[in-house]
């Protein structure tokens, strides 16, 4: 339990407090996962550096009882040990944070690897081993090699097992030694901050609800609700309901007002008129099903709970209430579990046909019909799975692909270009623009699409057209396979967990499952060939 608590605290320590506004230099006027990802990356770096600097200052103030004698004169002359070397590296900050959990955490055994550069060769190594012995550490592995920078020096890799508190004391002691050029800790057992955290189960999404508070009615005077106190109070009320939501809860019921239902009705009827001509067949098919079940009507806004139940029956997707625009990483991570984080508030009555921020009309009319289509639901989940543990730059690229597909995507249908993007199907002005002769239409190629600059102030000058959903998925899979993430993940529908395929046992289990599925497929094909089937 101590390790779990430490891991959670590590995440909290290095997680940015993702609540940004125009006051922090982010004035964008429209929902933009891509710019969210870029801005998030910048603040992550700034916040992490602040955390590390504070921890290093604290470390410099603490006393150390070194085993290895420190020759201050030789240290000063060598000029090799910087001021930062007397503090903590990022790995050591994480270790120090884990120790702070309490007495049990201090005494917990920790496996770790130390990489040392020995100025005096084997003489330095003997001192290091003596120091490890004093701190009651166990050497599990040791190897040396000539330094690539200086043949007169040795690089040593030492894997040790010792209590966390003594490991930290050992590192501080070694870092002050003039016989070592540098000391690097490589943490194990999930102590490393460089081993990226990402949700492994849908319940972990309780920690993935950080917001980008841009274009908020309380912050931006250009928002149509900025001067409307009643609207601002309503937004806060619904946001608090979403913030209180936890995994396993029923989605809270929202009693929509007459004004909110009228706003919904105006947009609904417009989409209903344009849909037969401009929307893709998959969207139209599910839209009709939603009408037949009484979920889509012009007189009232559907509740997320009934919409979520509808999605579960058709594709296994479900909904989770969100208080506003989520950060790119958190939003994409939810898709990996076939969960779509949806807002419940309604756009302002003065701008019924357009909203630069996500609202429930955009989510329900734009996203829900296609999330109930098996092919598109699978594509959405694959984007989410690709985002887990991805680098910041890859999150930006995935966000751009999401922007030009799920939000503003076009596809061919019997040679005619149709819309499937939610941003088009819930904003009729841009829908008509996208299908006119004004913008440039390009074939969907993920590697190119992922780096294409886009317009978030006005209508898009460029849209990407997929030959079909299947063609889009095939191209996306090939592109994702070249990402730099050093591991592969899969969603296990039986446990509802994301599994990292990093061991022979996991691979063998997956192969067994695949063999079983192939057997069922083969049997079904053979039975369909029998005369009795005809």
DSSP per residue, 56-106: HHHHHHS----SS---HHHHHHH--S-GGGGS--HHHHHHHHHHTT-HHHH
The span from the CA of 232 to the CA of 368, in Å, is 26
Choose the catalytic residue: 308, 363, 367, 396.
367
Told to judge if 407 belongs to the known catalytic residues of this protein, a careful annotator would answer yes
Which SS3 state, helix, strand or coil, does residue 227 take? coil
The residue with tokens 């407090």 is: 17
Told to judge if 484 belongs to the known catalytic residues of this protein, a careful annotator would answer no
The span from the CA of 498 to the CA of 480, in Å, is 17
What is the dihedral sign for C-alpha 463, 469, 475, 481? Answer: positive
Choose the catalytic residue: 362, 363, 380, 396.
362
Judge contact between 251 and 321, C-beta under 8 A.
yes
The span from the CA of 215 to the CA of 219, in Å, is 7
Tell me the two tokens of residue 144. Answer: 């040396």
Which residue numbers belong to the known binding site? 362, 367, 407
Helix residue spans in 112-157 (DSSP H): 122-134
Choose the catalytic residue: 260, 282, 407, 430.
407
Strand ranges, E, within 151-212: 154-163, 180-187, 211-212
How much of the chain is helix, strand and coil, in % rounded to 5? Answer: 50, 15, 35
Judge contact between 324 and 19, C-beta under 8 A.
no
What φ, ψ does residue 140 adopt, rounded to 5°? -95, -25
Told to judge if 260 belongs to the known catalytic residues of this protein, a careful annotator would answer no
Told to judge if 362 belongs to the known catalytic residues of this protein, a careful annotator would answer yes
How distant is the alpha carbon of residue 12 from its chain centre? 15
Helix residue spans in 258-391 (DSSP H): 258-278, 281-292, 304-314, 328-335, 360-361, 368-371, 374-387
Which residue numbers belong to the known binding site for Fe cation? 362, 367, 407
Instruction: Residue 410: name the closest of 456, 453, 460, 464 by CA.
Output: 464
Instruction: Residue 172: name the closest of 97, 60, 94, 49 by CA.
Output: 60
The span from the CA of 471 to the CA of 420, in Å, is 14
Tell me the two tokens of residue 230. Answer: 């009643």
Q: For the chain, how big is the Rg over CA atoms in Å? A: 28
The residues carrying an active-site annotation are 362, 367, 407, 426
């Amino acid at each position: 339990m101590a390790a779990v608590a430490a891991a959670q605290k590590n995440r909290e320590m290095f997680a940015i407090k993702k609540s940004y506004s125009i006051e922090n230099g982010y004035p964008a006027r429209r929902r933009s996962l891509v710019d969210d990802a870029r801005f998030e990356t910048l603040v992550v770096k700034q916040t992490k550096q602040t955390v590390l600097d504070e921890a290093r200052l604290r470390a410099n103030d603490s006393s150390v009882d070194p085993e290895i004698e420190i020759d201050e004169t030789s240290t000063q002359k060598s000029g090799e040990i910087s001021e930062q070397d007397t503090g903590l590296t990022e790995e050591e900050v994480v270790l120090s944070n884990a120790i702070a959990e309490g007495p049990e955490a201090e005494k917990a055994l920790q496996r770790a690897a130390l990489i040392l550069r020995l100025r005096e060769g084997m003489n330095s190594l003997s001192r290091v081993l003596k120091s490890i012995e004093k701190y009651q550490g166990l050497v599990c592995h040791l190897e040396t090699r000539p330094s690539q920078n200086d043949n007169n020096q040795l690089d040593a890799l030492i894997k040790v097992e010792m209590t966390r508190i003594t490991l930290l004391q050992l590192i501080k002691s070694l870092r002050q030694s003039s016989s070592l050029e540098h000391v690097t800790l490589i943490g194990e057992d999930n102590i490393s901050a460089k081993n990226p955290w990402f949700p492994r189960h849908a319940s972990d999404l309780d920690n993935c609800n950080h917001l980008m508070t841009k274009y908020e009615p309380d912050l931006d005077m250009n928002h149509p609700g900025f001067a409307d106190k009643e609207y601002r109070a309503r937004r806060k009320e619904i946001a608090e309901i979403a913030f209180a939501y936890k995994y396993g809860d029923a989605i809270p019921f929202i009693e929509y007002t007459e004004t909110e239902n009228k706003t919904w009705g105006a947009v609904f009827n417009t989409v209903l008129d344009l849909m037969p001509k401009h929307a893709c067949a998959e969207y139209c098919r599910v839209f009709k099903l939603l009408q037949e079940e009484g979920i889509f009507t012009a007189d009232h806004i559907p509740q997320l709970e009934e919409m979520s139940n509808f999605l579960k029956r058709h594709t296994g997707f479900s909904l989770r209430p969100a208080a506003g625009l989520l950060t790119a990483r958190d939003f994409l991570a939810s898709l990996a579990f076939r969960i779509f984080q949806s807002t419940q508030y309604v756009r302002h009555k003065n701008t019924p046909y357009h909203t630069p921020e996500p609202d429930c009309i955009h989510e329900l009319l734009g996203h829900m019909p296609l999330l109930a289509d098996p092919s598109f639901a699978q594509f959405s989940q694959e984007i989410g799975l690709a985002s887990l543990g991805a680098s910041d730059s890859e999150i930006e690229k995935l966000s751009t692909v999401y922007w030009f597909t799920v939000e503003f995507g076009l596809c061919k249908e019997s040679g005619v270009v149709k819309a499937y993007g939610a941003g088009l199907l819930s904003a009729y002005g841009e829908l008509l623009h996208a299908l006119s002769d004004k913008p440039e239409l390009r074939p969907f190629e993920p590697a190119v699409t992922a780096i294409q600059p886009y317009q978030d102030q006005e209508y898009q000058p460029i849209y990407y057209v997929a030959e079909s959903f299947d063609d889009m998925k095939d191209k996306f899979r090939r592109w994702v396979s070249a990402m730099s993430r050093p591991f592969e993940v899969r969603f296990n529908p039986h446990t509802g967990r994301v599994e990292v395929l990093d061991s022979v046992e996991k691979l063998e289990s997956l192969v067994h499952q695949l063999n079983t599925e192939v057997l069922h497929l083969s049997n079904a094909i053979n039975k369909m060939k029998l005369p009795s089937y005809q």
